[in-house]
Amino acid sequence: MIDEKNMGNDINPHSFPMEIFQQARTPFYYYNMEVLQQTLEEIKRHASGMNCSVHYALKANGNRKITSEIAKHGLGADLVSGREIEAALEAGFPASEMAFSGVGKTDWEIKLGLKKGIGCFNVESVPELEVINQLAGEMGKTAPIAIRVNPDIDAHTHKYITTGTAENKFGIGIEALEPIVCHAIRLPHTHLKGLHFHIGSQITQMPPYVMLCQTINDLQDHYEQLGIRFEMINVGGGLGIDYNDPDAHIIPDFKSYFGIFKQHLNTKPNQLIHFELGRSIVGQCGTLITRVVFVKENRNKKFVIVDAGMTDLIRPALYGAYHKIENLTAQQTGPTEEYDVVGPVCESSDVFAHHCKLPITRRGDIIAIRSTGAYGESMASNYNMRDLPACMFSLTP
């Protein structure tokens, strides 16, 4: 086993049940429910003192045990498909605490949201606004909506997961916003609750959030002059986690994150602030557990071939994402070796890590791929007719 460090926050992330792992069929996701619970408690603690509601973005991880636990802690849900609306209802999230985002909502998904009475449609375009208004009218309902604004803030993250700059598909540019807001207010079957923002993902520096607050403040001042006041502002999510050293920051820095909004966002009386966090809630509670099938050498390069592949965890192949990899069964104090850790899928991108330093690794060793609670299991596929990954949960008291 690995050294047990004291993390200073009562969590020992390495309390892996090795005897159970040894017997279990791999690969599977192992979820540490204590980490999840403590993360949720921290959110509650640091979000207090603000008139806000925190939503969980279900797309990060839709596993039922995880979503029910989050619902039990009183969070709302941010959803991007009709199936996610259904899953969130089954997990116990109240419909009134649901927001539905996405640039391509289809008619059945919009109707489902209206029928279930979800709290807000985050509208991303004028055609969508018209369709929601029309469908709501046909159903004799009023659709609560927010307009998603693209604030053109570069969150300095990965090009595939930046969503708040001018050249991507999300939201409506600030320059085009005013006529749309005025139009939405006049529509008979929509109720404009406010504005929605989401500037990107895996944001670990606070300046983009300060810029977001300033943008929102300016917009609110502008609309106030027009006599328009919003009952709700949704600031999105995107807070990042420490992939390099998960043990050092097993719980993300929610104090700084919520502190930025407390300090910089000028809220109006009775105005509700929505947060919608995904990765920062579930990222660190999950670990992908996999076994070494073969160790192979090719032209001076050593490969560790594991039984998990890009079908279980696609982030490295899709985004070049880094995940810390540990050999849980090798001698930790001995010599190390550099390996490429790869999966069995017939794609050359099926690589978890290049030049990964591990203790001398052998067939049968158990490998942990850390910080995989977010966008891991939820992005799994059946490619190569592989089974979807299994999951295991820490025993909660």
Strands 336-342 and 366-369, bridge-based pairing: unpaired
How far apart are CB 363 and ligand PLP at their closest, in Å?
36
Burial annotation 146-177 (CB, 10 A radius, 16+ → b, else e): bbbbbbbbebebeeebbbbbeeeebbbebeeb
Residues in CB range of 181: below 8 A, 6 or more apart: 147, 192, 223, 228
Q: Which of residues 12-71 bind ligand PLP (CB under 6 A)?
A: 57, 59-60
Answer yes or no whether residue 241 interacts with ligand PLP by CB under 6 A: no
Q: Which residues pair with 53 in a beta bridge?
A: 274
- The one-letter amino acid at 126: V
Q: Which of 27, 164, 278, 316 binds ligand PLP (CB under 6 A)?
A: 278
Answer yes or no whether residue 341 interacts with ligand PLP by CB under 6 A: no
Question: In whole angstroms, what is the distance from residue 319 CA to residue 43 CA?
Answer: 27
Mark 65-104 with x for binding to ligand PLP (rule: CB under 6 A) and - for no binding: -------------x-x--------------------x---
The sign of the dihedral angle between the CA atoms of 359, 363, 364, 369 is: positive
Contact (Cβ atoms closer than 8 angstroms) between residue 185 and residue 228: yes
Residues in CB range of 333: below 8 A, 6 or more apart: none
Which residue's beta carbon is nearest to the bound ligand PLP?
Answer: 278
Answer yes or no whether residue 276 interacts with ligand PLP by CB under 6 A: yes
Give the Cβ contact number of residue 20 at 10 Å.
11
Q: Which of 27, 151, 238, 246 binds ligand PLP (CB under 6 A)?
A: 238
Question: In whole angstroms, what is the distance from residue 315 CA to residue 376 CA?
Answer: 7
Q: Which of residues 123-162 bind ligand PLP (CB under 6 A)?
A: none
Segment contacting ligand PLP by CB under 6 A, of 14-22, 177-185, 234-242, 324-332: 234-242
Nearer to ligand PLP, 112 or 239 (CB): 239
Q: Which of 190, 201, 215, 372 binds ligand PLP (CB under 6 A)?
A: 201
Nearer to ligand PLP, 238 or 389 (CB): 238
How far apart are CB 101 and ligand PLP at their closest, in Å?
4
Question: In whole angstroms, what is the distance from residue 190 CA to residue 203 CA?
Answer: 33
Answer yes or no whether residue 274 interacts with ligand PLP by CB under 6 A: no
Answer yes or no whether residue 109 interacts with ligand PLP by CB under 6 A: no
Answer yes or no whether residue 251 interacts with ligand PLP by CB under 6 A: no
Nearer to ligand PLP, 128 or 276 (CB): 276
Answer yes or no whether residue 119 interacts with ligand PLP by CB under 6 A: no
Answer yes or no whether residue 279 interacts with ligand PLP by CB under 6 A: yes
Segment contacting ligand PLP by CB under 6 A, of 150-158, 222-230, 244-252, 271-279: 271-279
Query: Which pairs count as long-range contacts for 293-302, CB under 8 Å and 24+ apart, including other chains?
Result: 293/344, 293/363, 294/363, 295/339, 295/361, 295/362, 295/363, 301/340, 302/337, 302/338, 302/339, 302/340
Question: In whole angstroms, what is the distance from residue 314 CA to residue 222 CA?
Answer: 43
Answer yes or no whether residue 110 interacts with ligand PLP by CB under 6 A: no
Answer yes or no whether residue 353 interacts with ligand PLP by CB under 6 A: no
Q: Which residues pair with 232 in a beta bridge?
A: 194, 272
User: How many chain residues interact with ligand PLP (CB under 6 A)?
Assistant: 17
How far apart are CB 272 and ligand PLP at their closest, in Å?
16
Answer yes or no whether residue 367 interacts with ligand PLP by CB under 6 A: no
How far apart are CB 355 and ligand PLP at their closest, in Å?
27
How far apart are CB 385 and ligand PLP at their closest, in Å?
29
* Beta strand extents in 151-278 (DSSP E only): 172-173, 190-196, 232-234, 272-277
Question: In whole angstroms, what is the distance from residue 94 CA to residue 74 CA?
Answer: 9
Give the pair of three-digit tokens for residue 352: 């978890």
Binding site for ligand PLP (CB under 6 A): 57, 59-60, 78, 80, 101, 198, 201, 236-239, 276-280
